[in-house]
Amino acid sequence: MIEHSADKYEAVKEYPILKGYLEHFRQVSKDNEIPGLLSFFFIQGQAAVPYVRIPIGGSNIDPRVSVFWIQDTRTGKSVAFETIQKVMTDAGLECLDYTSGTDAAMLGSFERDSEGDLIQTPGALAGRKGINFDEGSILLKPNQHSEDTVLYLQSALNAAGTGRNILTKHMRLGTIRIKSDVSLWITTYPPSGIKEHVLDKGIFQRVLLYWRNWTLDMKRKVAHDLAMSVHNQPSFTVSYDEVVEYFKDLEKRLTDKVCNLNGISHLEWLDAEEEMREQYTMNAKNDMFKIDGSYIPALIEAIDDYYDLVENMDPKKQGVCASFIMGLQNYTNIIAHHMAMLEGVWVVTGKHIDMAKEILYDLYHNLIHWLESEVKVGMKAAEMRTLEKAWREAFQRTEQVQFDDNRGAGWVSKTDLLDNFGRLQNLNSNNAVLDRYRKAAEKMMDNTAEGRRKFVRLKPEYMSKSSGGKKDE
């Protein structure tokens, strides 16, 4: 488990505005240091997204940061977003609560005006804004109704400037087409028994996933802290107005830079259509920020550190956990550029990578702990070995049949095998037998047929275990 304190990170120690923002955040949402830290980058990503594209090969990523926060109810998640929303609003950045999962609410709809002309009303995912999505449970346990929601949110988080963040929906009155530059702040209570396939949806690799289990002692401590704060006026090293002004000034600096690189005035930028602004930003992407010679070695070291965390895991869980690393690699690039913004420089260095990695490594370590404890990935290894052994025993007790062709020996009737397994395991349900066959025996068997009759035999790698070659563990 990670230490849930932000003050230990070099970025917090080095950049006063980041430390100052956290002082304000922790006064509202107690003992939620890591979400507080991530919320700064959530806001900064929205300030930067019109202007910054990070080139990677022939494509790019953008500076947005989205967060998925899994934690008990009544532990500060709601009031945390109130702080985020206030800062963003005061800094001139749009921010809203998302309350409906309908296509129209997300993408937009058509209405007719008084003269009968169609007017498109944009939905929540249109444009640039921070969105609070407090129904994260539907992403972890989706049903048929929520599948479209998952896909829309996933598409909304695709990289700006690639065209893949354009959402399209054909409706009765016409086609809705929107460009999404949103950042998502997703929260939910800790669900149990997350299925492996749920985490393959792709949206989870586009967010920073933070899980924390709150104990009774932690809740008691926070209650005491809140009691002590009654009529107690906190002091801050950085004022709230200074925090807001930082984000305003950052956007001004980024605007100046992209205008200078394109040789245009602020007025030309403001008057430009959305597509033209995107073109200006793409024109500037290779020169907006530069990297120095220390950047790539530090990035490769960070990637290796992430892979080292899963290298010795159970293979079944390893695949799930490793699927997050590419997204983590992208976020290492993104947060490193955030560090350069904090420092007020246009060259991103290995130092900035190291600062990003320090935070993201802990997040990933914490994520792995949650995945290992909560995510259901097939059967446990010991259970699988026991079940395989039972199927080998049933196979040995089933009479073999001989074919008059070149199919070879070792075949048994599949029906007889299933019957024998059921008797040996005292299973009276055909469904129970078939379920165990699909879980374990299916991969163990070769298959053939004679008319409608089906026959199976152990594959060589399993046959050796049943004939004295390799002993069962």
The single-letter code of the amino acid at 354 is: D
Integer Cα distance of 315 and 256 in angstroms: 50
**So where are the chain's domains?**
10-376, 381-466
Strands (E), 11-77: 54-56, 59-61, 67-70
Select the more confidently predicted residue: 207 or 319: 207
- pLDDT digits 0-9 by tens, 403-441: 888 888 899 999 999 999 998 988 877 877 887 898 889
Q: Which residue has the tokens 């890591």?
A: 34
Range 100-115 average pLDDT: 84
C-alpha distances in Å from residue 130, one per residue of 91, 163, 289, 382, 426: 12, 20, 24, 45, 57
Q: Give me the sign of the Cα torsion angle 211, 69, 164, 254.
A: negative
Cα gap 168→171, rounded to integer Å: 10
Mind listing the pLDDT tens digit for each residue in 270-281?
999 999 999 999
pTM exceeding the 0.85 threshold for the entire prediction: no
Query: Which DSSP helix (H) or strand (E) runs through 223?
Result: helix 216-228
Tokens representing 165 are 């963040």
Higher per-residue pLDDT: 4 or 236: 236
Residue 11's pLDDT band (cuts 50, 70, 90): very high
Could you identify the residue written with the tokens 């005292």? Answer: 426
pLDDT tens for each residue of 35-50: 999 999 999 999 999 9
Q: Answer yes or no: are the C-beta atoms of 66 and 206 closer than 8 Å.
A: yes
Q: Do 460 and 419 touch, CB atoms closer than 8 A?
A: no
* CATH number listed for the domain at residues 381-466: 1.10.10
Looking at this protein, which amino acid is placed at residue 450? E
**10-376 and 381-466: identical CATH topology:** no
pLDDT at residue 297, as a whole number: 98
Q: Rounded distance, CA 298 to CA 353, Å?
A: 6
Does domain 10-376 fall under CATH 3.30.390.10? My reply is no
